[in-house]
Amino acid sequence: MNKFTKVLALALIAALALGFAGVNSTSAQGTYVKTFDLSLPVAEGTYAGVDPKGTTITWWHQHTGQREAAVQAAAEKFNAENPFGITLNVVSKGSYDDIFTAVTAGIQTGELPEIVVAYGNQAAVYQNNEALVDLNVFMNDPVLGIQDFEEDMFTSFFASDLNPAHDNQRLGFSTYRSVEVLYYNVDALNELGYSAPPTTWEEFGEMVCKFVNEGKGTDGYQIRTDASFIAAGAFAAGGDIYDRAAGEFTYNSDAAKVLPKAIQDLLNKGCIKKTVDPRARSDQAAFGNGAALFYTGSSSGIPFVWTAIKDSPKPFTFDVAPVPGFGDNPAVVNVYGASNSVVAKSKTPEQILASWLFLRWFSEAEQQAEWAKGTQYFPVRRSAADQLADVFAQEGTGRAYQSAFNLLNSTKEEPSVDVYQTVRSETSKAFNDILDGADVDERMDALTNLANELLEASRK
């Protein structure tokens, strides 16, 4: 069994989930020239003389509904306006699970798109078979690169694109992100005598217990049990779940155990509850109908939360804040989202260059602002905020979107190692065991040992 097959087997043990590392800077120098103003073919560099004129490329993505419409709009604009004669086809290929299955099969058959959505850990699996382009070749190009990367980009958004298992190759390019946040009922907190959301788990506990004990609601908080919540708690407490320098998981660190211990204690006190039905988002529904004071989830869910609130019998004002645990320290929030990888396997230089030109164009402020308006994701460029005044002012969602946007200067991503798909599933199992009464220290030790065993096996 080769390395690719071993890692694939590990990855398919669990349901595909999120996966996500400091970021190096591009060495591109000079002034950024907008993509459609570039003069091609370039005279120097790896892609000197390559002319993408007339090239057709395909992008596999996971978006549906309103977000798929935003993808289609971007593709139509690119096709109509790019001066290079490039045609971009976009295909909604199903869920992340579906796409991962299709790509891993396509690596063997050759049936692959030119661009594919991928989390960092998925991209690592693909690159075990040398299927992707190391985009550093473009980022470092004096003409084709992103010359204002450090100045205008949220550089931490690109952390998971650099893969330490593959010599820090850049296996993807971020075009949007969201963050893990604490949603809170502003009106209910005010009625309880609080003017601000909690910054510590002690404050969180005081609030939910008072909410339940005074009969304001029945749930307090329905517990989110996925791995991103555990990572968010560790980040907030000033730690991590993975030591990048040592190359090992650290779920048994003091910081990583702060959240599980606090949640277990509050569950035992009856102030919070287990999520009734995670697949049906019962935790989000409980918050939306006023049964819960708090809800934790992605900032990309802001529109859905607002819909639930405004359709409830008693609508209320809501906002978002960092996950508790940071106290008087600056909040570090968990940022996540898939990037887009460029496929190398069986592709021509013209197809690869055309793919990069689309991603480069898509990352520019104008396109990023339009994308943010259509999807509620965050743009990867700071300057896109200048075009988002209407989003920040939007009824119901604008306040929360701006609050979340203000958190983007201090973010951290989950690890992009290939086994993280499996480790995420094991993390959720461990947390559920803790909710059922398992000793936090012992169970997090066991999780750490298993995660590192899986990591070690993937390296053989």
For residue 395, being part of any structural domain is answered with no
Residues 302 and 367 occupy one common structural domain: no
| CA distance linking residue 437 with residue 439, whole number of Å | 6
Phi, psi (rounded to 5 degrees) for 314 = -135, 85
Eight-state DSSP code of residue 164 = G
Q: Which domain holds residue 283?
A: 179-334+416-458
On whether both 236 and 315 belong to a single domain, the answer is yes
CA 19 to chain centre: 8
Q: Are residues 215 and 359 in the same domain?
A: no
| Angle between the N-to-C axes of helices 3-11 and 120-127, in degrees from 0 to 180, rounded to the nearest 10 | 150
Q: Are residues 110 and 191 in the same domain?
A: no
Task: Classify the C-alpha dihedral 146-151-153-158 as positive or negative.
Answer: positive
Domain membership flag for residue 37: yes
Matching residue, tokens 């120097």 = 44
3-class DSSP assignment, residue 12: coil
> Is 130 among the domain residues?
yes
138 plus 238 within the same structural domain: no
Closest CA to 420 of 133, 7, 3: 7
User: What are the CA-CA distances from residue 138 to residues 71, 133, 141, 327, 352 (Å)?
Assistant: 23, 10, 5, 41, 10
Paired strand residues for 153? 381
Based on the fold, state whether residues 215 and 81 are members of the same structural domain.
Answer: no
Tokens found for residue 385: 């905020």
Taking the C-alpha atoms of residue 276 and residue 274, their distance in angstroms, rounded to an integer, is: 6
CA distance 188 to 184: 9
Same domain (yes/no): 205, 169 = no
Other Cβ atoms within 10 Å of 22 Cβ, number: 10
Global pTM? 0.86
CB neighbours of residue 247 within 10 Å: 15
Q: Which of left, alpha, beta for 44 (phi over 0: left; psi -120 to 50: alpha)?
A: beta
Using an 8 Å Cβ cutoff, are 356 and 62 in contact? Answer: no
**Beta-bridge mates of residue 248:** 243
Structural domain contains residue 162: yes
Query: 442 and 301 share a domain?
Result: yes
Task: Determine phi and psi for 187, rounding to 5 degrees.
Answer: -65, -45
288 located within any domain: yes
Instruction: Tell me how crowded residue 262 is: count the other CB atoms within 10 A of its CB.
Output: 21
Residue listed under structure tokens 């906002």: 319
What gap in Å lies between CA 174 and CA 74, rounded to an integer?
16
Q: Residue-wise pLDDT tens for the chain (460 aa)?
A: 443 333 333 333 333 233 333 333 344 456 899 999 999 999 999 999 999 999 999 999 999 999 999 999 999 999 999 999 999 999 999 999 999 999 999 999 999 999 999 999 899 999 999 999 999 999 999 999 999 999 999 998 998 899 888 999 999 999 999 999 999 999 999 999 999 999 999 999 999 999 999 999 999 999 999 999 999 999 999 999 999 889 999 999 999 999 999 999 999 999 999 998 777 789 999 999 999 999 999 999 999 999 999 999 999 999 999 999 999 999 999 998 899 999 999 999 999 999 999 999 999 999 999 999 988 899 999 999 999 999 999 999 999 999 999 999 899 999 988 899 899 999 999 999 999 999 999 999 999 999 999 999 988 7
Q: Sign of the C-alpha dihedral, residues 75, 77, 79, 82?
A: negative
Note whether residue 29 is domain-resident. Answer: yes
Rounded (10°) CA dihedral 341, 344, 348, 350: 30
C-alpha–C-alpha distance, residues 450 and 172, integer Å: 28
Q: Could you tell me if residue 5 is inside a domain?
A: no
Q: Specify whether 312 is located in the same domain as 345.
A: no
Rg of the Cα trace of the chain? 22
Same domain? 247 vs 124? no
Specify whether the CB–CB gap between 230 and 427 falls below 8 A. yes
In a domain? residue 408: no
Which CATH number is 170's domain given?
3.40.190.10
Report the domain count for the chain. Answer: 2
In terms of domains, do 362 and 266 share one? no
Q: Looking at residue 18, what is its pLDDT? A: 33
110 and 28 co-located in one domain = yes
